[in-house]
A and B are shown apart, each in its own frame.
Chain A
Amino acid sequence: MTAGQAELAGKAYPDAILQMIEITKDFPGVRALDGVTMTVRRGEIHAICGENGAGKSTLMKVLSGVHPSGTYEGRIVFDGEEMSFNGIKSSEHVGIVIIHQELALIPELSVTENIFIGNEVTRNGVIDWVESRQRAVRLLQRVGLDVDPDTAIKNLGVGQQQLIEIAKALSKDVKLLILDEPTSALNEEDSENLLSILRQLKEQGLTSIMISHKLNEIAEIADSITIIRDGRTIESLDVESGNVNEDRIIRGMVGRALDSRFPEHTPAIGETFFEVRDWTVEHPQVPGRLVCNHSSFYVRRGEIVGFAGLMGAGRTELARSLFGRTYGTYIAGTILIDGEEVQITSVPSAIAHGLSYVPEDRKVLGLNLLDNVKNTIVSAGINRISTRSVIDMEAEVAAAEDYRMAMNIKAASINVGVSTLSGGNQQKVVLAKWMFTQPSLAILDEPTRGIDVGAKYEIYGLINRLADEGKGVVMISSELPELLGVCDRIYTVFEGRITGEMTAAEATQESLMRLMTDTAAA
């Protein structure tokens, strides 16, 4: 491998805009990058693939100067010149702009203000708002966004915000645009739109580097692919040469072929035990707008029920309003458990009735990142290991260890902070936290978002195991192949209404998409 890399490094690339050569970056106790070499050609879309923890983000931080020159070994050649960046500003100065997964927009400020923040258009030291606005309009056109430049960012959807970030990058005369998981928070439609904008910008000569876990997107849009595993370059694939498909990429990422993306599972479905009738909930801020509109559904024991829908269709709102009315204003509807109507008006009562909810955004809603693995695992079921609110420390340790084993959580010990874990392991900790409450119904909201292929496979296995234990599972996901691969039955949601119900066997991506966009339903 070393010989191969040396050869790669020595080769002359006349059309290369960027060469990163033998980049090695150490953190105390960990070698994050171990001689990574990659070449990006001018005017291409270059994808970087690798599992979480493989070193992609570190590599991009080196490239954008977040890790300044001198804290790593190796060379960066950009536009034919050797670079040494000592901060984001210095990399932006030569035209390298990074857009992070967590967008850096300020919600209260307008589109124009956000585009030019830190890079204001000035005349004699005073901001020239007229000129700024003019330029903002032109930039918005370039990214195909039809919004008023005076709109506050908080009024835009995530997809639109992502495009604003690109406009912001364009305003800085970007030559190389780095996108970290640009579509992870977007629904299919917005993702599609974003990718087509990227393609247009490419035709205008912009080079971009894209990090993504969505392999279908990469296969679709990338011109070449660098695969990183364990901090090393595994291979560089040229898409034009053919032979590149999702399976090929996965093989590179995990070191061998994944025979199947979804574990085998034979469902053992029992009788209906959880039923929701006419569930109707109003938006918390907008009276009269129904986020759940007379929704009715049921879950049987041992069954995995999927909820498909576009972002904002009301899936999360449904789940959270059922889970102790933690979202919106309850209007009407009943919950029946084992045929009996129950009142669930708070999270503790939801837990007491055997409900659990794994939220979609684990860092914002699922975890206290300051806490350790042990405390997190027992946090929701803390009453199970305490008497009169005094915690039994031995029982706590025992419980946390049990779940660490059972869920195969890779952590040095149960006392390490959850923030040190990879995304997949964090998600397993959140799952463990809810499994510890011994739920009869597990509601999982986007349980595999932002985690890598290997960890996804493990999560699917855990979901199957829950079903095999006779629990009901509700799984909300924006990835249709995942719903089709894991669920037994799928509901579609559109604008707060349940628009369809299909068994996984009869459903296809197309039929689900039709119901999700309501072209079929009345």
Chain B
Amino acid sequence: MTATKVMETESGKAGGPSGGGSASSVGGGIKQVLGGNLRQYGMLGALIVLALFFELMSGGKMLTPSNAQNILNGNSYVLVLAIGMLFVIITGQIDLSVGSVAAVVGICTALSINFWSFPWWLGILFGLFIGVLIGMWQGSWLAFVGVPGFITTLAGYMLFRGLYQYVGKASSQPAPAEIRFIGGGYLPEWGPNTGLNNSTLLLGILALAAIVFLDFRRRARVSKAGGTPPALWVALVRLGVIALALGYVTWLFGSGRSGTSFPVTGLILVVLALIYNFIATRTTIGRGVYAVGGNKAAAALTGISVKRTYFLVMTNMSFLAAVAAIMYFGRSTSTGPADGVGWELDAIAAVFIGGAAVSGGIGTVTGSVIGGLVMAVLNNGLYLMGVGSDMTQIIKGLVLLIAVAFDLYSKAQGKPSIIGALARGFNPKGVEAEFAGGAVPNRDLGNPLWAVLSFVVFPVGLVLWALWRKDRPNSAKQARNGVVAALVVVVFVGVIAIFYALAQTTGLFS
């Protein structure tokens, strides 16, 4: 009895931060509509605003059917890699070899079809088999020999790049039509003329039906289990928003020139994302992956085999690298020396922009896909505006930094308002002191003033530089690029900052 009374005060404290006394009823409503974990909406918001920004700046070239199809076709393979990389990163490892692995798989598939006369499907199976084999090789070094993933895959990066060159002998192997369909094809057109591609329309309708069905089934189950599902209006508003979004996407992809539709690569990506999201959230394997990444020793004592988890995750990564390789092979219609170069870094960047933790244990499939799309839209938008690859690289680097910095800040203890934190003054000892305290979850990262300042200083610097260069011959384009780059960074920071301000005033982030 005594004890119960005593513990009540503690529960108040434990519940306090998450209960969030400041959550207004409006905020609560929004929260209910959006669902539980809202952190990824920050990045989704950034993605949408970026797309709209480029749409405006490029004079409507961004959100056209053919451009949207291009973005998906040109980036799906990276997103597939990001899904695999996510699991590797959750376990606290990293895979630097995926580009080289993909190159090997690509050339093996191509050679098996072109030289051994494998039918295309057998060539694909052969490629996937090679991918799994390589994954088992790397997984074994990590799991059973204990070589850290960083080293194992750094070795793999060199080894498989060399193997690719050895096997490929600098030849360029063409892809058969079926594989070109997988990597860059479109769904067929059939039936009556609806003004949209009917396959795309059907997909959109099926997706909506599935979402509605699952949502109502969940409601029914919650009621049956004796719980109270969210209010009906909440469900309807949410479904309404989803229906609108789905409708727009269907229209965007389905209204292109005849013969185009939602791309096949997009379909592969969606299916893989659904499967892996299910694995991550609903299966014991997924739980094991998070458990190993969160605390290896505790996971082992809980009956989760750490070695098996490492092995599975690495094998799966190379398997997905093989899938990506085949998609890319089809899209580029032939193998080439640049296959797979730098892919690992794009995949890793996507995962971290999507909110995964460097130290492992945290990350979502949805987040990683959104993170990858942010990068894809940036690439594409800047290209549409004629910004050179120099500036594009600079912006991508900055976006990665900003995204991870804001994410770290949001995960830090409590939710001090950004403004309040700025007013507090920069405290260089903040980080050090908290770590000295030995408290793992209470990471107060001190003050983001420096970081924010540098993000402001940088765009301003770019603009000044652009203005300075403007009068020189042949530099007008460069100057314009500098201004565009600065604008993109400002917009990106702005969107995220707005989300945080919103989160802090309404208690939306949980």
CB distance from A444 to the nearest CB of B (A): 13
Q: Given A364-B297, A412-B18, A454–B427 Cβ distance below 8 Å? A: no
Q: Given A380-B302, A408-B7, A419-B440, A70–B424 Cβ distance below 8 Å? A: yes
Q: Given A68-B427, A389-B284, A368–B10 Cβ distance below 8 Å? A: no
Determine if B17 and A27 form an interchain contact, defined as CB atoms under 8 angstroms apart. yes
Closest residue on chain A to residue B8 by CB atoms: A410
Determine if B11 and A412 form an interchain contact, defined as CB atoms under 8 angstroms apart. yes
Determine if B300 and A347 form an interchain contact, defined as CB atoms under 8 angstroms apart. yes
In the A-B complex, the 4 residue pairs with the smallest Cβ-Cβ separation, listed nearest first, are A87-B429, A412-B15, A410-B11, A368-B294
CB pairs A–B below 8 angstroms (30 shown): A27-B414, A28-B16, A28-B414, A29-B414, A66-B434, A86-B429, A88-B429, A347-B303, A357-B301, A365-B297, A368-B299, A368-B361, A369-B294, A369-B441, A370-B362, A371-B291, A382-B284, A389-B283, A391-B284, A410-B7, A410-B11, A410-B14, A412-B11, A412-B15, A412-B16, A412-B18, A413-B15, A415-B36, A422-B13, A458-B3
User: Which residues of the partner chain B approach A254 to less than 8 Å between Cβ atoms?
Assistant: 2, 6
The residue among B3, B5, B427 with the most chain A CB atoms within 10 A of its own CB is: B3
Determine if B433 and A379 form an interchain contact, defined as CB atoms under 8 angstroms apart. no
- A-B pairs with beta carbons under 8 A, tally: 202
User: Which residues of the partner chain B approach A398 to less than 8 Å between Cβ atoms?
Assistant: 225
User: Residue B291 contacts which of A30, A230, A379, A412 (CB distance < 8 angstroms)?
Assistant: A379
User: Residue A411 contacts which of B14, B282, B294 (CB distance < 8 angstroms)?
Assistant: B14
CB contacts under 8 Å to B, within A452-506, are 452-455, 457-458, 461
A121 at the interface (CB under 8 A from B): no
Q: Give the complex CA separation of A29 and B17 in angstroms.
A: 5
CB distance from B492 to the nearest CB of A (A): 26
Q: Given A68-B429, A258-B2, A52–B303 Cβ distance below 8 Å? A: no
Binary interface profile of A, 386-409, with partner B (CB < 8 Å = 1, else 0)?
100111011001100000000010
Q: For the complex, count residues of B whose C-beta is within 8 A of A.
A: 65
CB distance from B256 to the nearest CB of A (A): 38
Q: Give the complex CA separation of A336 and B55 in angstroms.
A: 72
Q: Given A52-B10, A391-B282, A397-B225, A256–B440 Cβ distance below 8 Å? A: no
A144 at the interface (CB under 8 A from B): no
User: Which residues of the partner chain A approach B297 to less than 8 Å between Cβ atoms?
Assistant: 364-365
A81 at the interface (CB under 8 A from B): no
A348 at the interface (CB under 8 A from B): yes
B480 at the interface (CB under 8 A from A): no
Determine if B14 and A383 form an interchain contact, defined as CB atoms under 8 angstroms apart. no
The residue among A29, A71, A346 with the most chain B CB atoms within 10 A of its own CB is: A29
Q: Give the complex CA separation of A497 and B13 in angstroms.
A: 44
- Given contacts A66-B437, A324-B303, list 15 more A-B pairs with CB under 8 A: A27-B413, A29-B16, A51-B6, A65-B429, A66-B434, A86-B427, A87-B430, A100-B436, A370-B293, A370-B294, A382-B284, A397-B225, A410-B11, A410-B14, A454-B2
CB distance from B97 to the nearest CB of A (A): 27
Q: Give the complex CA separation of A422 and B302 in angstroms.
A: 21
CB contacts under 8 Å to A, within B385-436, are 413-416, 424-425, 427-430, 432-434, 436
User: Which residues of the partner chain B approach A371 to less than 8 Å between Cβ atoms?
Assistant: 290-291, 294
B21 at the interface (CB under 8 A from A): yes
Determine if B283 and A390 form an interchain contact, defined as CB atoms under 8 angstroms apart. yes
Closest residue on chain B to residue A103 by CB atoms: B438
Binary interface profile of A, 348-377, with partner B (CB < 8 Å = 1, else 0)?
101100000101000111111111000100
Closest residue on chain B to residue A61 by CB atoms: B437
CB distance from B288 to the nearest CB of A (A): 9
B63 at the interface (CB under 8 A from A): no
Determine if B427 and A369 form an interchain contact, defined as CB atoms under 8 angstroms apart. no
Determine if A369 and B10 form an interchain contact, defined as CB atoms under 8 angstroms apart. no
User: Which residues of the partner chain B approach A453 to less than 8 Å between Cβ atoms?
Assistant: 6
A101 at the interface (CB under 8 A from B): yes
Binary interface profile of B, 343-362, with partner A (CB < 8 Å = 1, else 0)?
00000000000000100011
User: Which residues of the partner chain A approach B434 to less than 8 Å between Cβ atoms?
Assistant: 66
CB contacts under 8 Å to A, within B259-288, are 282-285, 287
Closest residue on chain A to residue B441 by CB atoms: A419
Determine if B433 and A425 form an interchain contact, defined as CB atoms under 8 angstroms apart. no
A268 at the interface (CB under 8 A from B): no
Determine if B2 and A457 form an interchain contact, defined as CB atoms under 8 angstroms apart. yes
B295 at the interface (CB under 8 A from A): yes
B193 at the interface (CB under 8 A from A): no
Determine if B17 and A420 form an interchain contact, defined as CB atoms under 8 angstroms apart. yes
The residue among B2, B17, B227 with the most chain A CB atoms within 10 A of its own CB is: B2
Q: Give the complex CA separation of A53 and B19 in angstroms.
A: 17
The residue among A254, A397, A419, A454 with the most chain B CB atoms within 10 A of its own CB is: A454
User: Which residues of the partner chain A approach B285 to less than 8 Å between Cβ atoms?
Assistant: 389
Determine if A66 and B433 form an interchain contact, defined as CB atoms under 8 angstroms apart. yes
Closest residue on chain A to residue B286 by CB atoms: A391
Determine if A88 and B7 form an interchain contact, defined as CB atoms under 8 angstroms apart. no
Closest residue on chain B to residue A352 by CB atoms: B303
Q: Give the complex CA separation of A507 and B295 in angstroms.
A: 39
CB contacts under 8 Å to B, within A421-440, are 421-422, 424-425, 433
CB contacts under 8 Å to A, within B32-61, are 36
CB contacts under 8 Å to A, within B212-243, are 221-222, 225, 227
Determine if A424 and B284 form an interchain contact, defined as CB atoms under 8 angstroms apart. no
Closest residue on chain B to residue A230 by CB atoms: B9
User: Which residues of the partner chain A approach B293 to less than 8 Å between Cβ atoms?
Assistant: 370
Q: Give the complex CA separation of A255 and B1 in angstroms.
A: 13
Q: Given A52-B10, A415-B36, A455-B7, A88–B433 Cβ distance below 8 Å? A: yes
Closest residue on chain B to residue A366 by CB atoms: B298
Binary interface profile of A, 229-258, with partner B (CB < 8 Å = 1, else 0)?
110000000000000000000000011101
User: Which residues of the partner chain A approach B19 to less than 8 Å between Cβ atoms?
Assistant: 29, 412
Q: Give the complex CA separation of A348 and B430 in angstroms.
A: 43
Determine if B438 and A102 form an interchain contact, defined as CB atoms under 8 angstroms apart. yes
B25 at the interface (CB under 8 A from A): no
Q: Given A365-B298, A370-B362, A457-B3, A348–B303 Cβ distance below 8 Å? A: yes
User: Which residues of the partner chain B approach A87 to less than 8 Å between Cβ atoms?
Assistant: 427-430, 432-433
Closest residue on chain B to residue A90 by CB atoms: B429
The residue among A104, A367, A375, A382 with the most chain B CB atoms within 10 A of its own CB is: A382
CB contacts under 8 Å to B, within A187-219, are none
A6 at the interface (CB under 8 A from B): no
The residue among A323, A351, A420 with the most chain B CB atoms within 10 A of its own CB is: A420
User: Which residues of the partner chain B approach A357 to less than 8 Å between Cβ atoms?
Assistant: 301
Closest residue on chain A to residue B425 by CB atoms: A70
Q: Give the complex CA separation of A102 and B434 in angstroms.
A: 13
Closest residue on chain A to residue B226 by CB atoms: A398
CB contacts under 8 Å to A, within B432-462, are 432-434, 436-438, 440-441
B474 at the interface (CB under 8 A from A): no
Q: Give the complex CA separation of A365 and B302 in angstroms.
A: 9
Q: Give the complex CA separation of A398 and B225 in angstroms.
A: 8
CB distance from B112 to the nearest CB of A (A): 33
Q: Given A369-B440, A386-B283, A390-B282, A454–B14 Cβ distance below 8 Å? A: no
B194 at the interface (CB under 8 A from A): no
A159 at the interface (CB under 8 A from B): no
CB distance from B284 to the nearest CB of A (A): 4
Binary interface profile of A, 36-55, with partner B (CB < 8 Å = 1, else 0)?
00000000000000011100
The residue among B21, B303, B429 with the most chain A CB atoms within 10 A of its own CB is: B303
